[in-house]
Structures are given as structure tokens and as C-alpha cells.
Structure 1
Amino acid sequence: MPKVKTSSIEARFEPKCGPVDSAYVNVNDVIACYNHLKKLNTQKCVAPSGLGIAHFCYAGKAEVTGQSLNPKGSSSYCRDVASAVLWSVDHCTRGDQSVAGFNAAGGNGDLIVGSTSKSYIGSK
């Protein structure tokens, strides 16, 4: 079996829905955040160092957050954050039109984007 160089292994994040009922929020609120972030295009959406949580968007009862898997922080274009939000909308929306999910920003496995209710994150 050939050896795999560790430098050739990329950071990977397995997208997830949920994880609990309290994370779910009306899909239209999350779509409003998606549209806002997509319009920001190449503006940077930055997640802080020290595993802190960035608050990228609030709409209705929804919140889009970001957290870096890199302790030094990370950033992506906001349009790439929007692509992670769209994944949650497309893959995690339930029959009652509520959604919650987490995915890496497009092209950046270090920036994890959450599309959840504000109450799940602890925002008001």
C-alpha cells in the first residue's frame, strides 16, 4: 500500500443537518440571510481566532454564523459563505418549512457556517 503524505490531506468537514429541534428556524428567514450574503459577493466574512463565533447575518429568528477550525481564524468571500447556507436550505429543510444545518464555506474547509435559529446560538 502506498504511503500518503500528510501534507496532501485537506481539511474536510462533513455537512450536517440539525443537530436538535431547537436549532430549526423558518426557511424563509435563512433564505433572507443567503440573499444578503450572496449580494456581499467578494467582501470577506471573517471568523475570529480562538474558535470564536462570527455572526454573519440575522433575519427574523434566523442567524448565520461562522466558526474557524483553525485556531488562528479564517475567512472566505461572503458569497462562499452563502453557498454553505444554500446547502442547508437544499438539504436540511423539513416538511414544516424549518431548516438548520452546518457546512463548510465554499472552497474553505476551515470555515464552518451554521444556518440556525438565533436562540440555538444564544443570540437575542
Structure 2
Amino acid sequence: MDAAIEQGVAWQIRLNREFRGMSQRELAKLLGTQQSAVSRLEDPSYGNHSLETLAKIAKIFDCALSVKFVSYSQLAYESERLGEAEQCAMPFETEWSDIDGYQENESPRRPDAVLHGRHSIDLR
């Protein structure tokens, strides 16, 4: 289980960084550290992610950080949902503009395609 958590956190950092069109060097600069530190954070075998660092990364990514205790059955359920679309955290500004723009008879929706640097990623 520990390895799955370590790998999952590292993968989410890399995926969300790339989703935002950021290089490791750019994220490092925003964190006030070196590119090699970001490389370590994205290494699935690292396993020493502090809550403080994860909170800083969440702030940079403009998303929330959720840390919670769950049952093993819930962990198993969530382990089935590890695709890019489920692991990529929408920036609050993007999410808010989508919610703010919906009409009274519509339901808020997650955009099917969002900007990835200069490329579009399909989140379906």
C-alpha cells in the first residue's frame, strides 16, 4: 500500500505539472527550490513528500489538497479510477468560470477538453 501511495503522489505531481504546461524548472522556481528537487518529488520511489510541500504545490496548481483516512474498500475503489482525467485537478479559476457560466436549467460540468500549454487534452 505504501508504494501505491508514493507512486500515486509522484504521478499526480507530474501529471498536473504537465497539464499546466509547466517544466520541472518552472515548478521548482515557484517552489523556491532546484529542478532536481521537483524531479525527486516526481520519482515514484521517493516517498518522502511532506504535507507542507504538497500544500505549496496545490497552491501553485490552483487546486485543493485532500488528505484523508479511508477504508480499504474505498482505497480499492479509488484505485480503479487512476486515469489521467481522474488524477488531473482542474485549476480553480477554470473550474469557477465553468460553474459561473452555466445557466439555471443546466448543471455544472467539467470541461471535456482543457488547454494544456498550447495543446488541448480530452478529459473524457
Q: TM-score, normalised by structure 1?
A: 0.24
| Higher relative contact order structure (alpha carbons within 8 Å, sequence separation ≥ 6) | 1
Quick check: which has more Rg, 1 or 2?
Answer: 2
State the TM-score, normalized to the length of structure 2: 0.24
Q: Answer 1 or 2: which has greater helix percent.
A: 2
